[in-house]
Structure 1
Amino acid sequence: MQKTEGNYASPATEAIFNRTRLEFSRYITQFGLKTEKVLFHWGALLLIVGFLLGRALILMKIMPFALPFFAAVYVMKREKSALAGLAVLAGAFSLSIQNGLLLICAFFLFLVVYRLSGMISLEPAKKLPFLVFFTMLLTKIGMFYVLTQQITLYDFTFVTIEAGLSFILTMIFLQSIPLISQRQRKQSLKTEEVICLIILLASVMTGTIGWSIYGLSVEHILSRYLVLVFAFVAGATMGSTVGVVTGLILSFANIGSLYEMSLLAFSGLLGGLLKEGKKIGTSIGLLVGTLLIGLYGQNNQLLSMNLYESLVSVTLFLFTPKLITKNISKLIPGTTEHTLEQQQYVRKIRDVTANRVEQFSNVFQALSKSFSQNGFYEDDRDEHKEMDYFLSNVTERTCQFCFKKDQCWAQQFDTTYHYMKEVMHEIDQDTLQYNTRLTRELDKHCIKSKKVIDVIEQELTNFRVNQKLKHQIQESRRIVAEQLLGVSQVMNNFAKEIKRERENLHVQEEQILDALRNFGMEINQIELYSLEPGNVDIEMWVPYCHGRGECEKIIAPMLTDILGESIVVKHEDCATYPQGYCHVSFGSTKAYVVDTGIAHAAKGGGFVSGDSYSTIELNAGKYAIAISDGMGNGERAHYESSETLQLLKQILQTGIEEKIAIKSVNSILSLRTNDEIFSTLDLAMIDLQDANVKFLKIGSTPSFIKRANQVIKVQASNLPMGIIEDFDVDVVSEQMKAGDLLIMMSDGVFEGPKHVENYEMWMKRKVSELETTDPQEIADLIMEEVIRTRSGIIEDDMTIVVAKVQHNTPKWSSIPAYGQRKKAL
């Protein structure tokens, strides 16, 4: 074996070390599982707690802990109630026989009262505190009457106080018993559950009063250890709370320990403040608290004993495994471990949801493929089958009992089949009477030619109906397939968004928070969800500014300078009262904005136009402009065009791609009616980040882009919607610039000028001669110019939409935040 160089171990040594570590980890895990089994499954923890609560007293006379503990275990863990009862009785008998006999009577009376309470229709947990109260009251009154043969007002008050404490402790134990009797716990505890658990632990410690080791009080050691643990895992607030609660309960049990409450509370506060120094810092907090509190009113001997007790608690705390403190911190709200545990839980839920959405997406995609295959790939084969079925029906009615059947269909099959197929085609085209050659040859070939022609005419009607139904079914399948595919794509994108984890932006949050606070802005809380360029998402909680607009005028401009891109207020929920906080959402502005102008007129100056238009700002950062022209004029044409745009708008807002959306609308329109009612569609999708425009023109007129003195024509060749059931959408893309004008119009405007041979050249010339850049003025001027050429007569529905693309200039300029630029983020 070669010698190791420097600090590097040899592979064999490293393998032995790793194997030893794994074996040790496995041993620790097995030991932990066995310990949990003994404590929770076998009930050893309930046994220990019950014994100590049976010994717990207040003012050396009142014992309010035993019966509430037994009652809570009896209701929530019936199978372990006998074990808990024996443990409590053992603790009571360890104090005195009188206490043990009193508890036996109390347990027996409680079981009787609980059985009788079955007549009350309430949940056991709700009626249990009242049952314990009356049980303790009757038991104590009976004891005083047996011992003294009389009950004074003092005795009755004493008994009532003890029963009242039992009532309160029952409600507390109902919250805390599940925490010490179940192996599987919840992800986190509520604040009241944490307090109930602390009260239970402090009550258990009162059972150790009178115990000492080498003169050191066991309850003092355990109480200070408890404060150390909670101050270390949860900070100063929880540490001081545990100290106050524990010290108060111990002082009730022994009035001589009243100073202990001050010591525990102050030590919990110091230990929590020094928790950044790890266990050593928290331990120093306890020692400093012990010295400071011990200097008041105590002699040197008591001070030294207190210091020794604190040192023992610190020793136990330092040897407490990290795994225990980590598991405790996961249960307490507000700790870092609890936050990480919750984030892990949320991430797990998110992943499960994303996987389910992906599964649904795959199902929809598979269904779409299934519909497509069934609808499109068997057309040719089905057509031959249908022709054969058609000719079989004709043959059955004409040739079945003909004496020349064998000659025609056995010896001359191809000739007969060809004649019948050709006759069918001629009848379908209504040209058979002009084709004398075919009728002459059919007469020579068939002795029942007249009857064959009549039967083919009759069967052809049914054949046409069947063909139409078949095409409608195929088109329905195609619509379903396209819609399923679109839904699959939307759900797939949604799954990807769900999987996108929130970035760890704690450092950036602190930097932005410091920059705003250094400027003098008071920020209560800030949450950064995304700093991706063009997709910034920030939420803040800021004090109410009495309507001065500080978020829009100050905070957003500062964020603009810090992040290096324009930030604006997306949404703001103002506080309902002056001292409250406003919830504000900030986000990136779009690089471009669109200003539109619209002019339209109905035929003859009427009120109902067959043209419809719409401008839609989609969530994907796109701006859609659409014009639809229904065939003809009047209400029917208006209904067709408006319905087209309404369907398109709803489909586009779901996130489905533009081409699929248009083909879906076309299929719906083609199947919806048998009337020859068609509509055109002129759609422009403007990307507000880069000003790229996609034109989808379905039977519409050309559009024009005016850039300075240049006019660009945009045109595509597609039939109007509803004419054919299946078509390919031609997409034309153009790159617009700031200041460009997009002019879209219906055919009433484009073909409206009278005595014009070339409409395109005339429109280009009019657009190039425009001096204004205001969209509304341009729309009005072009509309007016077209109407003038007709001497004021409007012979068709007319619609024109003008859009101006320009840079998005923020309302407020950025405010410098020095030292916090984006490169520092």
Structure 2
Amino acid sequence: MNRQTSNKPSPIMKNIVWEGIGFMKSWTTDGVKKMPVWSRWVQVVKKKKLKITLSVLILFFAFFLSKAVLFEAAVPFFLPIWAIVARRYPRYLPFVWIGGLSGSLTLGIGQTVLHVLQVGGYQAVSQVVKNKKLIPFQVAMVILLVQVGWQWVSYGGEIPLSVSLLVLYESILSAIMTVFLFQLFVPMHALTTAKWTFERIGAAVMVSALMLTGMGGLLFGLISIPLVLVHVMLFGAVSVGGVFVGTAVATIMGTILSLSQLSFSGMIAVYALSGLCAGLFQNKGRLWMAIGSIGAALFFTVYDTSLPLDKVYFASLALAMMIFFIMPSSWISYAQNQLFPKPSSVLFKRQQWLTDKVNTQLYDFQQFVEFITQLVNDRFPTQKEIASTTQTPDYSVCGSCFRKDKCWGAENQGMYPIVDEWKEMRGQTKSGVRYRLNDRIQEKCVRSSGLIDALEEEYANNKLAGHYAHGKKMLAYQLRDMSNHVSELMADLQLNEANHESEEEKISKRLDDAKIAHFQIDMLSEEPGARKIVCCLPVKQAEWETNQMVGERLIIPILHELYDEPFEISRTTEIQDPFAHIQITFQSAVRFTYDYGVFTRSFQNTVYSGDAHSVIPLHSGLVAFVLSDGMGQDMEAYHESRKVIRLLRECLQHQMNPETAMHTLHYVMSLKHHSDLYATVDLALLDLQQGKLWSFKAGSMSTYLLRGKDCVKIDSQSVPIGFLPTMSVDAEERIVKDGDILVMLSDGMFSPEYSLEEQENELIRLMRKYESTPTGSLADLLAAEFSRKYPAAEDDRTLIVVKVKHSVPEWSLFSPSYRNISRERMIK
């Protein structure tokens, strides 16, 4: 009892819920009431425009085709429209049923029963035979069998030969009409995008002519609707395609209309001559085209008085001429562009000329870049030149001194050790060191001030020469990268010139070759490693998973072959408006995922330290780990390391080569006038798509890559950024696999009181011991366990641990909510 009452909501909660519902209801109704009725209808029509248009067209076609009569007895066109709608637009079958039966009732109850029997027979056959190519044959066979059975019953088992021929003609015409309707009514997904080819236009003309035969009774006074529509179509065909298209359309129209009334077969020549005469005056304007059509009708009025060229015909022709005169020119231009697109040879030649010109300019620029690069590389100082600059020069202040022989006579004696020590220690930032060196020179030299000035000048010149040499080296790297970019740009231009197709067209062509039905491709992102492509596929007749399987098994391999990178399905959506279709979104797949943890601590327990780190996701498939250690532990060291991180991030985000970025960074950092600060840089680029690791080091500690029982050590022999006028970057590439652990650290982690090899072995042992520990706490655990055995040095400490794993989708399994109940049932 208590359990039941406890599940009921309290009266207070009921009141709150009902008040909230009442408020929402009143708010929505007030909002709807404020909107005018016509505005609401306009919004509904805009939203459902395609559905409403298609519904009206299908209703219109079904009504007039179901009552179209050929040879004054055959009515073969209701089942073809039913078959095509059932195949391609099954949701619109009620409109076919309403329109078709309404048209059949105008011919009598017997014809209506015949159409119902044909639909039932077709539905039974289509459940067994589902091949699209056999639909015309199925329609013909169903009509033939139903008509034979109906006529056999009607004539008591003895069907006349003329009736048998009409039944045969009806089945053949129904099959031909089915083919025409398949050409005209394209699949739902291509209804708004399919081009009007000559085959489709011919099918539209045939179907329209057959529909006109069902409009024979539409007469308003002296105006015949079928005759008006025939002449409007004739004038439109002549305006769009000229004399040949106009004559062909007029002949087809006359032939179809004459088949409905065999007594007026001479009208074929009337319509053909009307199209010919109107086409002869196409270039003269619409008035002369109308005059030509009237002239043909007047000629046959005099030539053959038996033809139905009466007041109704000429009144209908006059109304068609008036409609033709007010017809917008944009409609005719649109039809002309669909049938006869304007040749783009001039545009193609201009594009080719522009491409050749840009290629020539880019090629000249590339040659210039290569020349400058080679010129700069040839001007790098050789080892002999560097050795000559390190020798002690002949100072002018000592040339006239009486103690020259005593100071500079014997090598490694006199002033040599003092000057060498001065040059070695001059780069120290502490002023006390420089004062001490100057005092030693003053004790030995009688012209100390002049010698110190000469040494300062030599130090400045050497430093400037070093900056100049590294600047040339940095320029060479930047020119090399620029040359590579220009080469890629030229290759893209040449590829575009050869193909003249966009990425969407390229993908669509490959899908067409693979016989994969689609109607739209959108490339949302073209960045390598972060591509995003949306494919719109028609809804299959099978289950929904069929489209997912097509995307996974067929489309993804095509995209992988095109762009040489893995893809995955990020989203699949079924959309109903404006028509039902499937949108599958493909994006660059990431084969690996990473998880990282960071331990960092300042030696002085402050919020700032000389160590700085950053994790920079360049895109979904590439991430950069940066660790920088500035000289010292004060605020200046903190700003120095943060500056290195910030500049390196900007260089990488601008897609600069990592090696070039580090040389550029050194050049910027070495241009200091008031300080001699420097910083180490440890850059690790992790490619999550290809499973590669690139390590770039400048004076940093070793990086450790643990894989099971093996451990790869990535060392560095270069100097920190800004330490010397010139520098080099240590670069190394490694392959990463599932379960690898990457460790990056600063020099403060190791104690100077113990051997480096011993501490490295202990760190590797701890990494193997705790490799199953969650990454978030692994860095803290390693630092704590390591500092227990080896006390921390008087320096800032930073430890970065990165775990690499395969990107595997998480599958959810069903589990019973009440395990005890399930266990009891299993035991029973």
Query: What TM-score, normalized to structure 1?
Result: 0.49
Query: What TM-score, normalized to structure 2?
Result: 0.49
